Chains A and B, each alone.
Chain A
């Protein structure tokens, strides 16, 4: 059995080495995607094109506008004269946000009434709009606090401290709420899943398509030996991927890695077993590489979206939440983020590790059974 397995492995590596582009295809896309994600994937909003319509033309209104200018988040692209101009700015994509200060703004403030501030956002990009709105309300709150502080001495009577809740945010594990720290570990898991699943599926389907699978099956090799020979290389490639890309994230993007490498190793092994199991399962449903490609394409995006990579699982509809339970990426993302940023160990992560072990067992078992049947 060992000889047959070793000759299978040797063959795989000779084929891999012979393919001059294989190393390029295995590694370069990972780094490119890593760089793209590292630099481009950010929820922070900067330089939002903003149009302003100041109908009050007062000291207060100018001061409010200067608050917006003071941050780098908003670029005032147009100081409009009338409402029509605002509408056209938004329609023509000249501005994504418009701030309208109505006449009477300063009068309301002077009289101690709450002064309305109109904000128009382009909702076609709801994400940017939502985040920008958050900044605007922060700026408005800051402005009104300052205004109240300045106005208070004018008012007669003893100064009454404004009652309220003072929020003191203290994010743990990622004090600066650096999004890269959140994204990079997620990217490592996602890219590895993508690569390992498709490589495994294609490699097995190719043997089926070319006819070498049938040829091998007339030899005394047993199906599980073939499967091992076919999956071990991709398991190892997956490990290489995770190690390389993690190192890149740590050294280039300075993502901290404070957990135990051993926990990472355990998590990665189980995750990769589930991934090759998935690839193998996919291959048993495909007769040709084209079918495998279509299936792969169809499945991987949902797996990515339903993993908690960017979209919180807790906000998904219940049915989709159930689906995430069979997604190995969901568990691995928890493990990899925890190991990188929190430094927690098995005592916390055992449910995730157990879930991945279960998934790997089920997928590998089912695919081995289906594989044997699919030979007929």
Chain B
């Protein structure tokens, strides 16, 4: 953990309710400078609400957010100069060109003309959008729009970047470009908080917070989260994964079963003891000769195990 002085973001006791619904319950975390901090959780876990409070567009009911030494609630305008927020769908003016959108956001943040030119050149080329400068934003593909959103969000070189599910609905090539930009940013000392529903993206973060029901259930690096997963993980290739899952769920020693494409991941309390038992069990359920091998848990396995959803499909 970073010392308090080094933390780029400090969140403490943050809560927000909408009417009767408590969207975020007393969450707290620190993010050090240069980290990519991931918020992971199912829909409705409170990711977007947390993001919007960090971005100073939503007033928290309780709690404190300090970004780069600025109290966000007390001085939102000052805090906004240091941070950048990209919602799930970046608000682009579809009837303005790529350049005009960038120009508009640059001016809003008071970026000088010369800086704007060199930065937009650099960012556009990183995003692979240089040749589309004169195109109307409305005529870009979904992935290109999202990259243009990122360019607009970065034009004032924020110290803290908040991304709410930035790559949802973005094609793989654009996603790769997108992450390349994020890594570059981290190198230059930008602190990034991003929420995601993609497990491969969660895996790329320096640290993760698992959000569920508005509260942080676990918060650590992806590798330590994996270590903390109770039990051992076994992988079984299957021609009929669903049938196999049904055969395994609820059997002694089986803590959880997860479908992973053409394989089934089974979490058990003790691998050495259970592997022979499972062989016998599967044999009896019409899966003779199943290959059962211990495997490294992915973040999805950890996620499901830690959030206590016994089995998910």
Contacts and interface: CB of A to CB of B under 8 A. Distances in A.
Contacts of A347: none
Nearest to B59: A376
A82 to B, nearest CB: 70
Interface in A323-376: 375-376
A216 interface: yes
B179 interface: no
Nearest to A218: B85
Contacts of B92: 210, 212
Q: Is the interface of B mostly helix, strand, loop or mixed?
A: loop
Nearest to B108: A219
B80 A213 contact: no
A217 B108 contact: no
Interface string A205-225: 001001111111111111000
A375 B59 CA distance: 10
Nearest to B56: A218
Interface string A160-190: 0000000000000000000000000000000
B89 A220 contact: no
A7 B87 contact: no
Interface in B59-89: 59, 77-78, 80-81, 83-85, 87, 89
Contacts of B108: 4, 7, 216, 219-221
Contacts of A214: 57, 87, 91
Most central of A4, A14, A219, A221 by chain B CB within 10 Å: A219
A212 B57 contact: no
A93 interface: no
A213 B91 contact: yes
A18 interface: yes
Contact of A215 (B58, B87, B94, B110): B87
B95 interface: yes
Interface residues of A, number: 24
Contacts of B81: 220
Contact of B80 (A19, A207, A218): A218
Contacts, number: 68
Contact of B57 (A14, A15, A207, A375): A375
Interface residues of B, number: 29
Given A7-B107, A376-B58, A210 B91 contact: yes
Nearest to A211: B91
Contacts of B90: 211, 215
Contact of B91 (A14, A18, A212): A212
A206 to B, nearest CB: 10
Contacts of A11: 93, 96, 100, 104
Contacts of A212: 91-93
Given A212-B91, A218-B85, A376-B59, A14 B110 contact: no
A205 B93 CA distance: 14
A18 B136 CA distance: 10
Contacts of B96: 11, 14-15, 18
A19 B96 CA distance: 10
A218 to B, nearest CB: 4
A215 B152 CA distance: 10
Most central of A19, A210, A218, A376 by chain B CB within 10 Å: A218
Contacts of B59: 376
Given A4-B107, A215-B87, A222 B77 contact: yes
A376 B104 CA distance: 23
Contacts of B83: 218
Nearest to B81: A220
Nearest to B152: A215
Most central of B56, B107, B110 by chain A CB within 10 Å: B107
B109 A220 contact: yes
Nearest to B78: A220
B105 interface: yes
B14 to A, nearest CB: 15
B211 to A, nearest CB: 20
Interface in A222-255: 222
A211 to B, nearest CB: 4
B100 to A, nearest CB: 6
B55 interface: yes
Nearest to A217: B57
Contacts of A14: 96, 100
A221 B76 CA distance: 10
Nearest to B104: A11
A213 B85 CA distance: 13
Interface in A7-50: 7, 11, 14-15, 18-19
A219 B95 CA distance: 20
Interface of B: 55-59, 77-78, 80-81, 83-85, 87, 89-96, 100, 104-105, 107-110, 152
Interface of A: 3-4, 7, 11, 14-15, 18-19, 207, 210-222, 375-376
Closest 3 CB pairs of A and B: A215-B91, A212-B91, A211-B91
